[in-house]
Amino acid sequence: MRFRPDKKYIIWGVTAFLVAACSILFIFAVFNYPIFALGFSNFLKVMMPVINGFLIAYLLNPTMMFFERKVIPAVLRILNIKEPETFKNKRIMRYISIGLSVVFVLLVIVAFISIVIPQLIGSIKSIAQQFPEYVENFTDFMNKTFDDNPQVLEYYDQYYSQLEEWTRGLMTNIPSYINKIWDSLSKGILSSISFLYNIVLGFILSIYILSFKEKFIAQIRKIILAYFSRKRANGIFMEIKDIDRIFRDYITSSIVDSFIIGVLCFIACLILRTPYAILMSFIVGITNIIPFFGPFIGGIPCAVILLMIDPIQAMYFIIMVVILQQLDGNVIKPKLFGDSTGLPAFWVVVSILLGGGFFGVMGMYLGTPVFAVIYSFIRRAVASKLTKKGLPSETSRYLRSNELPYEAPKDKKPKEDAADAEKESETTIAEELIPEDPNDPQTQTSQQTPGSD
């Protein structure tokens, strides 16, 4: 008698093996966390050029599509040249679009470096040269404050001994601090060289990714359709579209918002005659990319610099930054962002704190869209579960804890009718990817008109 294995039991056995293997691996990872953390860190270092390539390609894609869909067709119409229809000519059009987008981005970077960077360097040099004078001005201001306010002088005398002891300890440990600073500086130089190397490799890979973007997307769709049902595949496609929308709108809106805040800060500094207006507005504009905390992160070091130059100007600058932050949070950001993230203010703060705690400055910036994706997924999953139970999905219906907002579910159809309805509802994006066979008798029958009978 020939043995025929049951496919169902084979699947169960493989599933049980994978679950047991993953459990053992998880327990081993928990008790050997440093080894796995080091291995994961090394893996990230190796894969960093590829990750940078996908990130650069994602950022360049809107510019490339603008040239490919808007600029080049308009130029061809002006020159009375027919748009390319063959695959080879479209591929040439894609290469031209990539080249134009790269040239455009490089021109923007060069213009920024040639216009803004010299001003920033000049401001920093001026601050360094006049720093002793600024310290003397600040000392005179504090002495005048002590003379006009004897109570402040009493507090100063009370804590003077502690301050003197702290200063003496600081002066004693200066050599060790210098060695630490030198070590950090050398590590920073090596990290900068490695970062530039990864960026260059990522830039080269991004050109290849943009050239064959449709092929990569088609391969991902094929894999999803092969291992998931059409209904589940359609849900995955919709999730990917939602993730792309959230990140694209967030990145674009944050860059535009930071530019607007930087320009407004520069105009306000010119009106208030604030020293080093370009440096101050540049710091405030760059740090404004970080939601909620950005203006304060940029405003504090600027206020410290201005405090040594002119304390009154520092006070004006702080008031101006607070006004800008209110204007940005109540007027500019709602107009630009709209409901792109869908996160309440509390979860925005939580996402910034978690992202900054785990991944630093980049985590503070990308924490909000990542948390928005997770929040959106959980919200839709909870709404789907509540709808199946006949419960409303609106949060306002659950404000009273003593009342259950129960709604009687609608009459359910028999299982056969529900299965047929589910089959009919599976006309999804996945079906659009599969062309109909014109030689199929069912297709020919469905294309007949009612009057042909």
For the segment 353-388, what is each residue's pLDDT rounded down to a tens digit? 888 777 777 777 888 888 888 888 888 888 888 888
Q: Coil, strand, or helix at residue 428?
A: coil
pLDDT, tens digit, for every residue of 142-153? Answer: 777 766 666 666
Rounded Cα gap, residues 375 and 344, in angstroms:
10
Residues 6+ positions from 143 with CB-CB distance below 8 Å = none
Q: Where is 102: in which H helix or E strand? A: helix 87-129
Residue 196, token pair as written in the block: 């530039």
Average pLDDT, stretch 256-279? 87
Count of other CB atoms within 10 angstroms of residue 27: 10
Q: Which residue type, as a one-letter code, is found at position 22?
A: C
The Cα–Cα gap between 105 and 206 comes to 13
**Cα separation values, 298 from 10, 134, 273, 292, 412, Å:** 60, 21, 19, 12, 59
Burial label for 265, CB within 10 Å (0-12, 13-18, 19+), is buried
Lowest mean pLDDT among 17-26, 130-139, 307-316: 130-139
Which distant-in-sequence residues (6+ apart) come within 8 Å of 363 by Cβ?
Answer: 354, 355, 356, 357
Q: What is the pLDDT of residue 406?
A: 53
Got the DSSP string for 324-389? HHHHIIIIIHHHHHTTSS---HHHHHHHHHHHHHHHHHHHHHHHHHHHHHHHHHHHHHHHHHHHHT
Torsion angle of the four alpha carbons 350, 284, 51, 96, in this order, in degrees rounded to the nearest 10:
140
Length of the chain: 453
Please say whether the beta carbons of 53 and 203 come within 8 A. yes
Q: How far apart are the first and last CA of the chain?
A: 55
Rounded average pLDDT over 28-43: 78
pLDDT of 414 > 50? The answer is no
**Per-residue model confidence (pLDDT) at position 434:** 44
- Interval 9-24 mean pLDDT: 83
Residues 369, 374, 377, 378, CA torsion sign: negative
pLDDT one-digit tens code per residue, 43-96: 888 888 888 889 889 888 888 888 888 888 888 888 887 777 776 777 888 888
Q: Residue 272 — very low, low, confident or very high, per pLDDT cuts 50/70/90?
A: confident
Collect all residues with Cβ–Cβ distance below 8 Å to 62 and sequence separation of at least 6. Answer: 248, 252
Tokens of 10: 């084979």
CB neighbourhood size of 383 (10 A)? 14
Instruction: State how far the Cα of 359 lies from the Cα of 304, in Å rounded to an integer.
Output: 27
Q: Does the pTM exceed 0.85?
A: no
Distance CA 160, CA 166 (A): 10
Q: What is the residue-wise DSSP string for 44-65?
A: HHHHHHHHHHHHHHHHHHHHHH
CA distance 67 to 73: 8
List all residues 6 or more positions away from 283 whose beta carbon is below 8 Å from its beta carbon.
298, 301, 302
pLDDT band at 430 (very low <50, low <70, confident <90, very high): very low
User: Which range has the top average pLDDT, 134-138, 239-243, 428-432?
Assistant: 239-243
Which backbone phi and psi does 371 adopt, to 5 degrees?
-65, -35
In order of 73, 95, 296, 433, the CA distances from 77 in angstroms are 6, 19, 50, 31
Around Cβ 229, how many Cβ atoms within 10 Å?
Answer: 12
Q: Does 431 have pLDDT greater than 50?
A: no
Q: What are phi and psi of 85, to 5 degrees?
A: -115, -30
The number of beta carbons lying within 10 Å of the beta carbon of residue 14 is 10
Phi, psi (rounded to 5 degrees) for 342: 75, 15
Among the listed residues 50, 57, 430, 51, the one whose alpha carbon sits nearest the alpha carbon of residue 212:
57
Please say if the pLDDT value at position 158 is more than 70: no
Determine which of 94-103, 335-344, 384-393 has the lowest per-residue pLDDT on average. 335-344
DSSP 167-193: HHHHHHTHHHHHHHHHHHHHHHHHHHH
